[in-house]
Amino acid sequence: MVDPTAVAKRFWAYGTLGKTPDDDKWHKLDADVREVALNMSPDEIGQCMWALGTIRRLPSKGTWTVLEIAVEDTACRMSAKSVAVTVWAYARLKEAGLKKPDKDAWAELETAVEKHANENAFANEDLVNIAHAFATLPRVPPTQATEGEEGAEGEEGGGVVPEAPAESKEGDSQAEPTPVKDECWDALELAIANKASEDLTPTEIATTLWVFRTMHTQPNDETWHSLDQSMVRIAPGLKGTLQLAQMTWSYHSLNRAPEDKNTRWLMHNAVLLQPMGLQRVGVTRESNGERAKSRMETRDTSHPAAIDAHGWLKWAMHEPPPALPAKHALTFDPDAAPKDDEENADAAE
């Protein structure tokens, strides 16, 4: 029998080199993993999953089935790092054709994520990688009737058969269903909130904002306060960069605005300076080209193209509406016809 540790190390070596073995070596490695996966330690399973995610290649169907059984059996005993790289590998393998994780293996992984998040055992990059994987797959949060649960006899797919609503008497209000608590996500979000303001790097903050934007999920108040405080820390070092412009787009997508005035202006400046920032905030490349062509034809250079971003970012500036013009403005039009009230005033004099 092949040594399980030796097989895991061979897999790890290919992942470290970022190299996919040739067909003969791959078939041999595939067969060896299928033979010994159930005898590997939890962290050796994590190494194999990390290597597959790194080289973005799925094994044969039989080998993958055995690996997912091993993940299900060992997830509760994996280290925080192994749990993180296994979740990350599932998201990476989506690009290789993986449709969705096995239901039971994924449930065990989520339980392990919740446990390690509550224990504050994840490194910063692992927290962000797990959140990124949840958005990439995408993860389906728990519901009252989860697909795959055992249902009534004769129901295909094991779906839960909802009970018929009870008939209520006149005047009785129907009770609303109790929302299901997503304990895994809540634990992960709390762990991110505890680290964001002081510890996460600009790239990790940008990725976290992207996750919330992609999942169409609003962070809770504590998480948002921590993320917004992190922007006060990192925005000055990102002045004028594309990364800051992309973060601004995430703020805009979440319908949020930074509380700190300096951060607002740094975001505004980044969008004005970065062409991609302009495009992401709302000015498309096509409209930029058409506008530039029109101005060249009319030789209208009084308003630069970048000024259009200003309108898209008024939400970030908290700008008050423009003041009404004075009645006797210096820039009056001498050819304008007098208004009725002005004529009456002149007649009275």
Answer whether residue 320 shows pLDDT above 80. Answer: no
Cβ neighbourhood burial of 243 (10 Å; 0-12, 13-18, 19+):
middle
Rounded mean pLDDT of the chain?
Answer: 79
Token pair of 223, please?
């998480």
Report CA-CA distances (Å) from 76 to 104, 108, 112, 124, 127: 12, 7, 5, 21, 17
- Tokens 């067909």: give the residue: 23
pLDDT, tens digit (0-9, with 9 covering 90-100), for 139-156:
988 874 444 444 433 333
Report CA-CA distances (Å) from 21 to 76, 192, 263: 31, 37, 48
Average pLDDT, integer, range 293-314: 45
Structural contact between residues 266 and 235, judged by C-beta atoms closer than 8 angstroms: yes
Answer whether residue 161 shows pLDDT above 50. Answer: no
Token pair of 297, please?
């034809």
Of the CA atoms within 13 Å of residue 259, those in its CB half-sphere come to 9
Token pair of 246, please?
């992309």
User: What is the per-residue pLDDT for 130?
Assistant: 97
Average pLDDT, integer, range 64-81: 96
Token pair of 87, please?
């979740």
pLDDT band at 343 (very low <50, low <70, confident <90, very high): low
SS3 44: helix
**Highest-scoring range by mean pLDDT, 156-170, 188-202, 248-262, 299-313:** 188-202
155/87 Cα distance (integer angstroms): 31
pLDDT band at 84 (very low <50, low <70, confident <90, very high): very high
Q: What percentage of the chain reaches a pLDDT higher than 90?
A: 56
User: What is the per-residue pLDDT for 3?
Assistant: 92
144/179 Cα distance (integer angstroms): 8
341/335 Cα distance (integer angstroms): 17
Answer whether residue 302 shows pLDDT above 80. Answer: no
User: What is the per-residue pLDDT for 212?
Assistant: 96
User: What is the per-residue pLDDT for 273?
Assistant: 81
User: What is the per-residue pLDDT for 146?
Assistant: 44
214/109 Cα distance (integer angstroms): 22
User: What is the per-residue pLDDT for 271?
Assistant: 82
pLDDT, tens digit (0-9, with 9 covering 90-100), for 22-72:
999 999 999 999 999 999 999 999 999 999 999 999 999 999 999 999 999
Answer whether residue 164 shows pLDDT above 60. Answer: no
Structural contact between residues 57 and 96, judged by C-beta atoms closer than 8 angstroms: yes
Average pLDDT, integer, range 287-316: 46
pLDDT, tens digit (0-9, with 9 covering 90-100), for 222-233:
999 999 999 999
User: What is the per-residue pLDDT for 35?
Assistant: 95
Average pLDDT, integer, range 106-128: 96
